Amino acid sequence: MKSKLQQSLEAGKFTITSEMAPPKGTDFSHILSIAEDIKDRVVAANVTDFQSAAVKASSLSMCIELERIGLESVLQMTGRDRNRIAIQGELLSAAHFGVKNLLALTGDHPVVGDNPQAKPVFEFDSVSILQAAVILNGGKDLAGNPLEGTPNFFLGASVTPVFDPIEVQIMKMRSKIAAGAKFFQTQGVYDVETMRELKKQTEGMDCYILAGIIPLKSPGMARYMNNNVPGIRVPEEAIERLSKAENKEEEGIRISGEYIAQLKDEGLCDGVHIMAIGAEENVPKILDVAGL
Amino acid sequence: MIVSQKKPFEEVLGYLDDVETVVLTGCADCASLCKTGGEDEIAELTAALEAEGKKVLASKVLTTSCSLLLNRKELKEIKDEIKAADAVISMACGDGVQTVAKNVKKATYPSNDTMFVGETVRQGVFQEMCKTCGECVLGRTAAICPITRCGKSLLNGACGGSKDGKCEVIPENECAWIEIYEKLKEVGKEAELEAVQPLRDYKDRTYPQTIDLRKQAKKGA
Ligand code: SF4
Ligand code: SF4
């Protein structure tokens, strides 16, 4: 059976996904209670894979929990920590537990994370993880050995629309599509022009694009991201709006909600992917503002 | 060349607790060029060891520390001193140290850390250029090595982590994949980067590897 995410995109619906991070520790209760609150508002939720190279519970463990409460999951998988044996094994395990979507990523380098002493693997990058998933979907492992039970992953990847030169990202998108990616979730975007440009650049490409939304909590956060996070460009107007607002978090929610509505009105993407980074409980409020 | 760096003197001294007399061997190749195993460094290490009460019985800059036969011949010139010494300190790369150790049959210690295969950018400045991956892709990457110059050794183009053209991993470095793109673009070949790269076969890279040209020639014939 196709995943809900695939069905929604293929049906041409404006599709909403969000992102959740497994806890650093063994207590999943907080994040799972939020999952309960958002599960009727999003089609699926990505689970990050040791995001920012930080030690946490694994993506698969949380995907299993989400599937159990009826929220479809998107397993994020990076090449940073696993060789091809571990990647294939993790994918087979995920499929067994009912995970149907995969987002392939290269992964941040350990040096930017919280255990910078780690040895990086990077045997596979995003493109080769997609290649591996396609081969597993075909009933064999990478060495050609037959599988007992075959997964059927709906495959996605990421793209960073604010990148210089942008052609480098567009070409990589083409490689990812050639390797099997059907949908893309973008790095956080904040201005309509960026998505207009991406739409133009990806004209005719056989894929769905979900615009990444990272709600802002304060002008400080916006400035920090502008200076430190690759591919993020928060426009000055948004920072000013936040500065003037009495309740910064509410204003950030409004900015995101209005932006989503605008993207939808102009038909600039097939949906949005909300990455609320530690404030996932705001996802329903953002969608309320967006009228979704 | 193989770029090495001096170990902290205390670490070298740490090997020599029970050692009173040593022979030092340098290397006229890479280790001389990166100032870790030439005449000057031998003089420096000799002085430092003697200040600690050790006796340096002899020293010699070998032509090529990593050549088993050549350095066997050259070591004969100081064979009596080696025989008399408690230990040998090889001031070469890790390869040279092992080769010297095979020839001297004495406790042999390194004075250097071996860092990388690299380029001398200018005097005293070295940059890592090749990870000796055994499947060179420079032919399609504008002679810029993605295995070494990309902080994640990516084969399929840039990650999303570059900021202002710099690498996510070591921000002083350029993003190799942006450099590769720019250089290929100059000759109109950038579209070739879209090709999905075949998965690498690491079974061929189990180590230690041996290359025997004579065996290869026989096989080929
Ligand atoms: S691709 Fe890079 S690491 Fe491999 S042999 Fe060529 S230069 Fe060396
Ligand atoms: S920023 Fe560029 S060089 Fe650095 S890891 Fe990413 S692709 Fe490689």
> Which amino acid type is present at position B161?
G
Q: Locate the chain B residue with the closest alpha carbon to A80.
A: B152
Q: Which residues pair with A104 in a beta bridge?
A: A77, A157
Q: Locate the chain B residue with the closest alpha carbon to A120.
A: B152
With CB atoms and an 8 Å threshold, state whether A163 touches B191: no
Which of B119, B130, B155 gets mutated to test ligand 1 (max ligand atoms within 8 A of its CB)? Answer: B130
Q: Within 13 Å of residue A67, how many CA atoms lie on the same side as its CB?
A: 20
B154 CB within 8 Å of a chain A CB? yes
**What mean pLDDT is predicted for residues B66-88?**
97
pTM recorded for the entire structure: 0.95
Q: Could you list the pLDDT tens digit for every one of the 292 residues in chain A?
A: 899 999 999 999 999 999 999 999 999 999 999 999 999 999 999 999 999 999 999 999 999 999 999 999 999 999 999 999 999 999 999 999 999 999 999 999 999 999 999 999 999 999 999 999 999 999 999 999 999 999 999 999 999 999 999 999 999 999 999 999 999 999 999 999 999 999 999 999 999 999 999 999 999 999 999 999 999 999 999 999 999 999 999 999 999 999 999 999 999 999 999 999 889 999 999 999 999 9
Average pLDDT value for chain A: 97
d(CA A265, CA A157): 24
Q: If you take atom 5 of ligand 1, which residue's CA is the nearest one?
A: B136
Handedness of CA B116, A128, B194, A163 (dihedral sign): negative
Q: What is the dihedral of CA A196, A200, A203, A209, to 10 degrees?
A: -30
Coil/strand/helix, residue A217? coil
d(CA A277, CA A34): 12
Q: Which residues pair with A47 in a beta bridge?
A: A20, A75
**pLDDT reported for residue B7:** 98
**pLDDT reported for residue A233:** 95
**What mean pLDDT is predicted for residues B106-131?**
97
Cis peptide bond N-terminal to B208, omega within 30:
yes
d(CA B89, CA B15): 10
**pLDDT reported for residue B163:** 92
CATH 3.40.50.2300 domain span(s) along chain B: 2-115
Q: Which atom of ligand 2 has the smallest separation from the CA of B160?
A: 6
Ligand closest to the CA atom of residue B145: 1
At B124, phi and psi to the nearest 5? 85, 0
> Has residue B220 got a pLDDT over 90?
no
- Chain A residue numbers touching B159 (CB-CB < 8 A): 106, 125-126
Read off the pLDDT of residues A107-160 as tens digits, 9 standing for 90 and up: 999 999 999 999 999 999 999 999 999 999 999 999 999 999 999 999 999 999
- Residue B190, ligand 2, Cβ within 6 A: no
**pLDDT reported for residue A213:** 98
Instruction: Give CA A35 to chain center in angstroms.
Output: 16
d(CA A195, CA A137): 32
| CATH number assigned to the domain covering B2-115 | 3.40.50.2300
Residue A80: name the closest of A48, A114, A105, A45 by CA: A105
**What mean pLDDT is predicted for residues B126-142?**
97
B10 secondary structure, DSSP code: H
Q: Tell me which residues of chain B, numbers 79 to 118, contact chain A at a CB-CB cutoff of 8 Å.
A: none
With CB atoms and an 8 Å threshold, state whether B160 touches A163: yes
**pLDDT reported for residue A136:** 98
With CB atoms and an 8 Å threshold, state whether A106 touches B194: no
Residues found in chain A? 292
Both structure tokens of A268: 């600039």
Could you write out the DSSP letters of every residue in B116-137?
Answer: EEEEEEETTEEEEEE---SS--
**What mean pLDDT is predicted for residues B164-179?**
96
Phi-psi category of residue A46: left, alpha or beta, with phi > 0 → left and psi -120 to 50 → alpha? beta
Average pLDDT value for chain B: 96
All domains of chain A, ordered by start, with CATH? 4-211+269-276 (3.20.20.220)
Coil/strand/helix, residue B67? coil
| A179 Cα: distance to centroid of ligand 2 (angstroms) | 20
**pLDDT reported for residue B168:** 94
A 10 A CB-CB count for B4 gives: 29
Q: Which residues pair with A73 in a beta bridge?
A: A45
Q: Which residues pair with A17 in a beta bridge?
A: A44, A273
Q: To the nearest whole percent, how much of chain B has pLDDT over 90?
A: 98
**pLDDT reported for residue A288:** 97
Residue B177: name the closest of B202, B194, B198 by CA: B194
> Has residue B221 got a pLDDT over 90?
no
Read off the pLDDT of residues A13-41 as tens digits, 9 standing for 90 and up: 999 999 999 999 999 999 999 999 999 99
**pLDDT reported for residue B6:** 98
Give which of A82, A119, A128, A173 to mutate to test B binding, by max B Cβ within 10 Å.
A128
CA-atom Rg of chain A in angstroms: 18
Q: Locate the chain B residue with the closest alpha carbon to A129.
A: B199
- Residue B167, ligand 2, Cβ within 6 A: yes
